[in-house]
Amino acid sequence: MALQIGDLAPDFTLPDQRGDAVTLSSLRGQRVVLYFYPKDDTPGCTKEACNFRDQWSAFEQHGIAVLGISKDGASSHAKFIAKYDLPFTLLTDAIPCPVAESYGSYGLKKFMGRESMGMMRHTFVVDAEGKIEKAYIKVTAATMADDILKDLALV
C-alpha cells in the first residue's frame, strides 16, 4: 500500500556522503524533505539537486532539512556534492534499497521500451511530528524545490 498524507513516515538509518549514520527520527521537531533520485551526476538528477541548492537559503531559513537518497555510494555522493557545491546531505540506500522500497520509490521502471528495477524520482515532505505532509510522485526535476516551497506557502 502506498504512503498517504498523514501516515507516519517509515523510519530509517542510512549512511551519508561521509559514511556517518543519519536517522530520520532523530530529525523530529523539524520538517524534512526526502527526495529519492536515480543516480548522481546525471542530467535530471543534477537539475533537481541544483534546484535544491539554489533554493537552499529558503529551506534553511525555515529550518527544513533536505536529504537526497539514491543507491550511489558515499564516494559518488561526495564527488557529486563537491562538483555542484551542494549544501545538503545525500544518503546511500544500497540495493535492494529497503528504504526506497518502504516509500514506494524503488521498483520496476520502464524506459524506452525496456523494464528494469530502479530508484524512482519521488519526493516526500515529512512534518515535525514525523508524518507525511506532502508526497510528489510525478516530479519535475528542474523545479522540485520551487514546487515544495510554493506548496508549503513559504515563498
Q: Among all residues, which ones are annotated catalytic? A: 45
What's the CA gap between 110 and 78, in Å, rounded? 29
Say if residues 43 and 128 touch (Cβ distance below 8 Å): no
The 8-class DSSP code of residue 91 comes to E
